[in-house]
Every structure is written in structure tokens, then in C-alpha cells.
Amino acid sequence: MRKPFLPTGRVVGTHGVRGMLRVQPWCDTPAVLCEFATLYTAPEERAAVRVCAARQHGNLVLLQLEGVETVEAAEGLRGRTLYAARRDLKLEEGRYLIDDLLGCRVNDADTGALLGTLCEVSATGANDVWHVERDGKIYLVPAIEEVIVSVDPDAEVIVLRPLKGIFDDAD
């Protein structure tokens, strides 16, 4: 089941004396976090807080949240994870949230064999690398068009055509 609230970043400090927060974003880019009008201080509807201002500041985001008007109030949120409601996310066709892919079965496109389960995703710059766990061993798979055949987070299935040597001892 897809989670209705997704972690988007962590409050790492304050900025100034008027309650602005410094947030480490967990999005594709810091700019994505700046697009939300409402964030949540817990993964539930009643934890909603309106975003009054947001701007990118290097690799961080500076956020001003409604009701957080002093450095002391902002300091009280240090270390807190901020969430976004799934319904507020706008994803392009063929784009998925990492959270929705974790735990998906990974099958071979040609044989149908179970290759393992997606357990982690690493961002490397050029492309993401998917960590597929099978029998206690982790296999690293480049998340590129030549390898990914299909992704169906609703069915929790990913179909790959792995590069030679990733899942076997072929040279």
C-alpha cells in the first residue's frame, strides 16, 4: 500500500531570528521542496502546516512555516522530518517515488526468473543505482533505459533485462 504521506526533508537548523528553518531536502532537487504550499510535521493530516515562504539556499531549503515566528520556535523543530501529502505530488509519466519502488519484486524480462527485491536506491550523478537483494547478497543494477523494461509500483513488480555479469558469473 502506498503511503499517504512521504518524507521530504529534515530540519537541520534555523536561519535568522524570525523562525526560518534550514531544511535538508530529500527530493530530486531542493527546488521540489519549495513547491509545496502545505507540509506536515508528522505523517498525518492533523500535522499540517502552511508554508509561508520557501527558497533554495545552496543545497538546503529555507522555509518559513505558519506559526513558527521566533528562533526558539524554529529550534524546537530541529531534527524533525517534514512530510508532503502524496496527493500534492505531481509526477511526470514514467517517474516514480523511490519509496514506492522499495520492496518491489525484480524479475528477469527474458526468463521471468525472480532476481530479488529492490532494497535501496543510490543516486550516483549519472544515473541511480538500484540495490537488489537476493539470498542475502546485494546486486548493484544501473537504473538506465537499456536495463529497465517495466516498472509497476501498484503490482510491486519491476522487470529488468540485466547487463551481462550482474546476476551471474558471466564475463
Per DSSP, the residues of 95-115 read ---HHHHTT-EEEETTT--EE
What confidence score (pLDDT) does residue 28 get? Answer: 76
Cell triple for 53: 515562504
Q: In which order are the strands placed within the sheet that holds 137-142?
A: 137-142, 128-134, 114-123, 105-108, 157-160, 148-152
31 contacts: CB under 8 Å, gap ≥ 6? 56
Q: What is the pTM of this model?
A: 0.72
Q: How far is CA 88 from CA 4, 40, 147, in A?
A: 10, 12, 30
Other Cβ atoms less than 10 A from the Cβ of 2: the count is 10
The model's pLDDT over 15-32, given as tens digits with 9 standing for 90+, comes to 999 999 999 998 878 888
Length, in residues, of the chain? 171
What confidence score (pLDDT) does residue 170 get? Answer: 46
- Looking at the predicted structure, is the pLDDT value of residue 160 above 60? yes
Q: What sign for the dihedral angle of Cα 139, 141, 146, 150?
A: positive
The Cα 163–Cα 150 span in angstroms is 15
Q: Which domains does the chain have, with CATH numbers?
A: 5-88 (2.40.30.60), 98-160 (2.30.30.240)
The Cα 80–Cα 13 span in angstroms is 10
- Looking at the predicted structure, is the pLDDT value of residue 97 above 90? no
